[in-house]
Amino acid sequence: MTMIKEGKISRRSFFNNSLAGIGSLPLASVFDKSHHFTRPLKVVCVGGHPDDPETGCGGTLAKFANAGHQVTIIYLTNGDAGIKGKKPVETAQIRTAEAINACKILNAKPVFAGQVDGSSVVDNVWYAKIQKLLEDENPDIVFTHWPVDSHKDHMAASILTQKACIQMGQKFPLYFFEVYTGSQTQNFHPTDYVDITETQQQKRKAVFCHASQGFVTDAFYQRFHGIMEDFRGISISVKGAEAFIKLTTAKSAVI
């Protein structure tokens, strides 16, 4: 533990300590106005396909961006196999454009890793590639899929991100988000919740950018994603919320 004498707190030491303490804070408390960060936080989300980060934690990402923090979304694949009846190249173009438009609404920067939808790869080459993408962003907080999931691209995104986190010395907290729990995400027992009541409509507009995936009506959205926001909101007595599981390691457990 670093001891700082009263009256001797420099701008540099305050900077270092205020950011170093993020990992020990509950996720929701990061938005507490009593916490003053000396620079905008760098928030990165790694998702399997265009629409996964938006549906899984779009409200939280919007909340970070609206508070002045820098948000980057890394899409593992371009969604090449996601439109029935269309060729992969055309599908990738459509879904990439949808993701870019969604990121504009969330005030996030899109990054496309370049893997193939439905044929995701987890190997040493991709461990290095994802780690390089994260190193380039130098994040303070990272989000990715919960690894227990029925879709292998979601699992791949999670495993690659976890490995990068470990290789980078676990210097940032890692949170897992859920998507379509029960059908895709499995065995999800949250450790953290974020009230997204104020960003629910912003999230919904971002998700609706993915019209190729059927997000064209409120009824469709509510059936698959709105109901989860309602349920997680009930858990913390707010209108809408998103839930997360924090990766806790031997290193991060020591405060």
Q: What is the pLDDT of residues 170-196, one digit of tens each?
A: 999 999 999 999 999 999 999 999 999
CB atoms inside a 10 Å sphere around CB 209: 22
Q: Is the pTM of this model over 0.85?
A: yes
For range 215-226, the mean pLDDT: 89
Of 135-139, 148-152, 213-217, least confident by mean pLDDT is 213-217
Query: Which residues have a Cβ under 8 Å from the Cβ of 20 and sit 6 or more positions away?
Result: none
Summarize pLDDT for 88-138 with one digit per residue, the tens: 899 999 999 999 999 999 999 999 999 999 999 999 999 999 999 999 999
Contact 191, 184 (CB under 8 A): no
Average pLDDT, the chain: 89
On the question of pLDDT at 1 being above 50, the answer is: no
- pLDDT (tens digit, 9 = 90+) per residue, 20-59? 677 778 898 899 877 778 899 999 999 999 999 999 999 9
CB neighbour burial string for 147-173, b if at least 16 within 10 angstroms, e if fewer: bebebebbbbbbbbbbbbbeeeeeebb
Q: What is the pLDDT of residue 149?
A: 96
